[in-house]
Structure 1
């Protein structure tokens, strides 16, 4: 499986650290790909095994490779750092949720038909991202607060959730 290596600077888009993967580099991974691109990532040779991340299309053939706090910490980097990035197409990627839906979230969806419809219309990778996020919430307060916000935006309300502006 082909891999690419390049040396970008970590930038910030909104509140999200990222590196831009050019259309030329992205085509070396998977030609003519226009949806979220599953990749295996190492930043400054960390970690082993590599992280699984979906790069997000920028609309011109290039992709945003968003770097979570976990990625930044493990690679000892921050916004403004020049980093060595190694990418490989993740041929073993499985679309759709990998985390089971918590009962408290499924019950909230069931109580709001518009939110349930919004959930059903999401692409699998976004459902997966939401479930990954909410299943990691520790406190009842955080679960409640984030569930209310998720239901609001899934039902068509305007707001910010998961570092995105929804329905604007």
Structure 2
């Protein structure tokens, strides 16, 4: 789908508005974030992968990160040609494998395992992404210890949030 839109700003985030009618053409009856590929003024090549976010009125916000705007030479306030297509290659779920040490320790701890399974998939994904970014084995072990501690019910902070 191709359309023309003005790049707006929401807080600090540049976006273009995708009307409800256009969103229905991209992915009918979807009320959740929609994975799409996007080009602005024909760039970047290949198209960038982005999620269109529900705006609450049936329309969607298509956020344009810095790499997309840089590739297209655009800025907030510009009127641009947008090409959007549903990303049928998108696969939900964790992008990072569960560390072997964490998996083994979860299997050995039924309370922590049950609470891990009850976490929202997005939070599981966030934790696995956090583990994957750690640079040292010592940091990974320390953070796995902390994760298991809060999954066992300790009132503590982990990943900059309180856990109860």
Question: 1:98-117 maps to which residues of 2 (within 5 A)?
Answer: 98-100=95-97
What TM-score does the superposition give when structure 1 sets the normalisation length? 0.64
Structure having the higher Rg: 2
Q: In structure 1, how many angstroms separate the alpha carbons of the residues matched to 2:129 and 2:13?
A: 15
Q: In structure 2, how many angstroms separate the alpha carbons of the residues matched to 1:127 and 1:72?
A: 31
Q: 1:91: Cα distance to partner?
A: 1.0
Q: 1:122: Cα distance to partner?
A: 3.8
- Structure 2 unaligned spans of 5+: 107-114, 137-156
1:75 equivalent in structure 2: 72
What TM-score does the superposition give when structure 2 sets the normalisation length? 0.65
Q: Does 1:88 align with 2:96?
A: no
- Structure 1 unaligned spans of 5+: 111-116, 141-148, 157-168
2:111 equivalent in structure 1: none
Q: Does 1:151 align with 2:148?
A: no
Q: Does 1:58 align with 2:55?
A: yes
- Segments of 4+ moved more than 4 angstroms: 100-103, 117-120, 130-140
Q: 1:152: Cα distance to partner?
A: 2.5
Q: Does 1:33 align with 2:30?
A: yes
CA pair 93-12 structure 1, distance change in 2 beyond 3 A: same
Match of 1:121 among 119, 122, 125: 119
